[in-house]
Amino acid sequence: MPDEPTYKTLERRGEEIYAEMYERGSPLGLLSEIKECFAAAIAAAETERLGAEAARLRARLDAIVAVYRRQFI
């Protein structure tokens, strides 16, 4: 079985941090980590010329940021 693409690994980590934010009940410092993971995932997808995946990742990050703003600010 081939290794998971880098962008998928980074996306999964970003999602884990997002879940952790809810488990803690506090977003303190976690949004920046989520943004870093997704930015790296987007860059990795673009490097692999996976434009649709990069767009999907951007949309997911936008959704996470919107939820963060509604619930934690």
CB atoms within 10 A of CB 29: 9
Q: What is the dihedral of CA 72, 17, 49, 52, to 10 degrees?
A: -50
24 vs 6, residue with greater confidence: 6
pTM of structure: 0.90
CB 7 within 8 A of CB 50: yes
62 vs 27, residue with greater confidence: 62
54 vs 23, residue with greater confidence: 54
